[in-house]
């Protein structure tokens, strides 16, 4: 590891690896893997696993494989596989050699299954699913042997080969490992390792009609690839005895070590692919990459920097104890990156027209504004000042106390990077709605304060004629409860205000030249990103990434 990495406190996984290296285990090599199933988009929980597996490999000058666990063809697609690979690369990691697939090993997996049968350690069972559940027992009662458990090796070999030859209907028979029906670990009570499933596979087509189960496939795939440390989340802890049992009972030299760590649970978020798929399938969100989704694609579209996600994952730590992480920590990590790197600009979400009565009608004045107030190296930009401008409706009141630091009838305020103006008159429609303000400006206040009075407030603005129409999308948490996964139906606690669109917003003209995924701080509003899907220079669309302040802390109180 580097000197910087050596200076950080080690987590328990690093301690294990350091001990292995000191003992000469695995010849000092470290080989990890990230093995997602291509049945959905990756989410924030996967980001932790990605950062850990690839990060550990980098720290120890090892390698990390990307392997698709593609053993359930009914739910898998090339769309998901492509999105997963893109997410891993976007987060800043590169896998070793080509992408691996569990389907690469289907023939070897079948051969190992036959080996278990020949050793009397696996048998074909024709119990129905309900009967199998009944025979399995409970947490307090031992299971009982299936009537098929004592079939001869020859009969099991014959039946298993006929399963492969598609002689039986789906669900008619399964292959089970013969372990211990009285084991206190239910995972060891003769688990199913192969089932019949006639479904077109995205890589092998219709070549196979039997598919291996995850617990059988995963450990063997690890061993074939020479994985040294198989890092997975805590829910697989009781799978580890089966992982070791399979490896110990087949003819393979490699024996990876499974190590479990706590998963990343984020408040007001779900990280179940099944429940995320419900949101997509029921059109509650606008796809897997909807910026409200906790998917990596959704967070990217919302403008979360990959650097911030990596920093957030590091802050959550690597432990054996499950806990829920506050949303404020994620937003802190995002602000830390964007505050330094995002150029400033002005955007008005709810335009209110101001006519500056003492400014020339046809004049367009070009003013200079810093792109970043603390970083001169980011340069300046040109903004246009005209007789008619827009401010935000929330920045004006007809009457207000002295604590209100924005524009009030009869009082002054400074326009950001421009002049001081005073509001003289309010124009309303027939319904008493304010539709326009008449103001005048002090031409001697560009870049300096008035000499004879103090102006307290500063507000943002854009030129009416020189600005661009844009759509700005502001996001709130997707769910109204802290732990939506605990609800019987998480779709019933979706926040109806999780997305608010401002379709009449106005932005600085310079933003028409930006590119999709460019990020900005819209002054006094928050951090925004040019939508990577819908942004065009003709029709700018910006998504709010995060506010300027921690609203989550207020919610928690």
Whether the predicted pLDDT of 553 surpasses 80: no
> Which of 41-73 are b and which e, b meaning 16 or more Cβ less than 10 Å from the residue's Cβ?
bbbbbbbbbbbbbbbbbbebebbbbbbbbbbbb
Please name the residues in contact with 403: beta carbons below 8 A apart, sequence gap of 6 or more.
Answer: none
Interval 195-200 mean pLDDT: 97
Percent of the chain past pLDDT 90, that is, above it, reads 93
What value does the mean pLDDT take over residues 429-433? 96
Whole-number pLDDT of residue 549: 81
Active-site residues, by number, are: 37, 263, 273
Residue 378 neighbours by CB under 8 Å, 6+ apart: 343, 370, 371, 372
Given the structure tokens 């020479």, which residue do they identify? 226
Percent of the chain with pLDDT strictly greater than 70: 97
Q: Are 203 and 179 in contact (CB under 8 A)?
A: no
- Residue 506, pLDDT > 70, answer yes
Q: In this predicted model, what pLDDT tens digit does every residue of 21-31 receive, in sequence order?
A: 999 999 999 99
Enumerate residues 6+ apart whose C-beta is below 8 A from 520. 342, 343, 344, 345, 511, 514, 527, 528, 529, 542
**Residue 428 DSSP SS3:** strand
pLDDT tens sequence across 125-162: 999 999 999 999 999 999 999 999 999 999 999 999 99
Convert the pLDDT of each residue in 525-547 to its tens digit.
999 999 999 999 999 999 999 99
Distance CA 442, CA 422 (A): 8
Span 205-216, average pLDDT = 98
Q: What's the pLDDT at 80? A: 97
Question: How many residues in the chain?
Answer: 557
Which pLDDT score, from 0 to 100, does residue 8 have? Answer: 77
What's the Cα-to-Cα distance from 328 to each of 106, 332, 335, 380, 475, rounded to whole Å?
45, 6, 10, 32, 15
What pLDDT does 247 receive?
98
> Residue 439 is inside which H or E element, if any?
strand 434-442
pLDDT in tens, 281-338: 999 999 999 999 999 999 999 999 999 999 999 999 999 998 899 999 999 999 999 9
pLDDT reported for residue 312: 97
Question: Using 50, 70 and 90 to split pLDDT, how confident is the model at 488?
Answer: confident
Directed axis angle between helix 78-90 and helix 44-59, to 10°? 60
d(CA 333, CA 340): 12
Q: Where residue 166 falls among pLDDT bands split at 50, 70, 90?
A: very high
**Residue 556: band (very low, low, confident or very high) from pLDDT cuts 50, 70, 90:** very low
- What is the model's pLDDT at position 351? 98
- Helices 106-118 and 214-224, packing angle to 10 deg: 110
CA nearest to 32, candidates 8, 57, 5: 57
pLDDT band of residue 434 (cuts 50, 70, 90) is very high
CA angle, residues 24, 29, 35, in degrees to nearest 5: 135
pLDDT of 550 > 80? The answer is no
Q: What pLDDT is stored for residue 3 in this prediction?
A: 52
The predicted model gives 521-525 an average pLDDT of 97
Q: How confident is residue 469, by pLDDT bands cut at 50, 70 and 90?
A: very high
List of domains in the chain: 3-261 (3.40.50.620), 345-469 (2.40.240.10)
pLDDT for residue 554: 47
d(CA 554, CA 531): 28
- CA 398 to chain CA centroid, Å, is 44
Banded model confidence at residue 552, pLDDT cuts 50, 70, 90: very low
pTM above 0.85, yes or no: yes
What is the mean pLDDT of the segment spanning 193-215? 97
Phi, psi torsion values for 419, nearest 5 degrees: -100, 170
Q: Is the pLDDT score of 555 beyond 50?
A: no
Residue 335, exposed/middle/buried by CB under 10 A (0-12, 13-18, 19+)? buried
Least confident of 86-100, 246-260, 438-452, 541-555: 541-555
How many C-beta neighbours within 10 Å does residue 480 have?
15
Average pLDDT over residues 53-82: 97
Range 341-356 average pLDDT? 98
**Six token digits for residue 151:** 């079939």
Above 90 in pLDDT, residue 189?
Answer: yes
| SS3 label, residue 212 | strand
Q: Tell me the pLDDT of the chain averaged across its residues.
A: 95
């Amino acid at each position: 590891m580097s000197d910087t990495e050596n200076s950080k406190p080690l987590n328990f996984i690093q301690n294990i690896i350091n001990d292995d290296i000191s003992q000469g285990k695995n010849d000092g090599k470290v080989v990890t893997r990230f093995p997602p199933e291509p049945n959905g988009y990756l989410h924030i929980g996967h980001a932790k696993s990605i950062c850990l597996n690839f990060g550990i490999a980098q720290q120890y000058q090892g390698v990390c494989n990307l392997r698709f666990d593609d053993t359930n063809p009914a739910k898998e697609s090339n769309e998901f596989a492509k999105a997963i690979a893109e997410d891993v690369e976007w987060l800043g990691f590169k896998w070793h050699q080509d992408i691996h697939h569990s389907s690469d090993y289907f023939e070897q997996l079948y051969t190992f299954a036959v080996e278990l049968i020949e050793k009397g350690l696996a048998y074909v069972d024709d119990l129905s699913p309900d009967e199998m559940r009944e025979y399995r027992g409970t947490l307090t009662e031992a299971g009982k042997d299936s009537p098929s458990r004592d079939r001869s090796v020859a009969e099991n070999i014959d039946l298993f080969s006929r399963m492969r030859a598609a002689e039986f209907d789906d669900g008619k028979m399964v292959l089970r490992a013969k372990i211990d029906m009285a084991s206190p670990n239910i995972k060891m009570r003769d688990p199913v390792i192969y089932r019949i499933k006639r479904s077109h596979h995205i890589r092998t087509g219709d070549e196979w009609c039997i598919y291996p189960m995850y617990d059988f496939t995963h450990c063997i795939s690890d061993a074939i690839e020479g994985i040294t440390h198989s890092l997975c989340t805590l829910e697989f802890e009781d799978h580890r005895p089966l992982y070791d049992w399979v490896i110990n009972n087949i003819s393979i030299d490699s024996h990876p070590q499974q190590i479990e760590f706590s998963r990343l649970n984020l408040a007001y978020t779900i990280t179940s692919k099944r429940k995320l798929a419900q949101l997509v399938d029921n059109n509650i969100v606008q796809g897997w990459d909807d910026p409200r989704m906790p998917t990596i694609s959704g967070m990217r579209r919302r403008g979360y920097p990959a650097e911030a996600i990596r920093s957030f994952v590091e802050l959550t730590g690597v432990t054996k104890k499950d806990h829920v992480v506050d949303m404020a920590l994620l937003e802190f990590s995002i602000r830390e990156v964007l505050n330094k790197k995002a150029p400033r600009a002005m955007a008005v979400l709810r335009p209110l027209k101001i006519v500056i009565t003492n400014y020339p009608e046809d004049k367009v004045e070009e003013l200079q504004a810093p792109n970043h107030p603390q970083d001169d190296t980011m340069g300046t930009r040109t903004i246009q000042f005209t007789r008619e401008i827009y401010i935000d409706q929330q920045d004006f009141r007809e009457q207000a106390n002295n604590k209100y630091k924005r524009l009030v009838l009869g009082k002054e305020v400074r326009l950001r990077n421009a002049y001081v103006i005073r509001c003289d008159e309010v124009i309303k429609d027939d319904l008493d709605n304010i539709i326009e303000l008449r103001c005048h400006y002090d031409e001697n206040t560009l870049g300096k304060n008035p000499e004879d009075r103090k102006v307290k407030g500063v507000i943002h603005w854009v030129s009416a004629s020189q600005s661009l129409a844009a759509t700005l999308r502001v996001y709130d948490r997707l769910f109204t409860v802290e732990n939506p996964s605990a609800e019987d139906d998480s779709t019933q606690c979706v926040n109806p205000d999780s997305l608010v669109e401002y379709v009449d917003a106005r932005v600085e003209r310079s933003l028409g030249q930006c590119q999709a995924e460019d990020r900005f701080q819209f002054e006094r509003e928050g951090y925004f990103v040019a939508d990577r899907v819908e942004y065009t220079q003709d029709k700018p669309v910006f998504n709010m990434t995060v506010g300027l302040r921690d609203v989550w802390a207020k919610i928690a109180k």
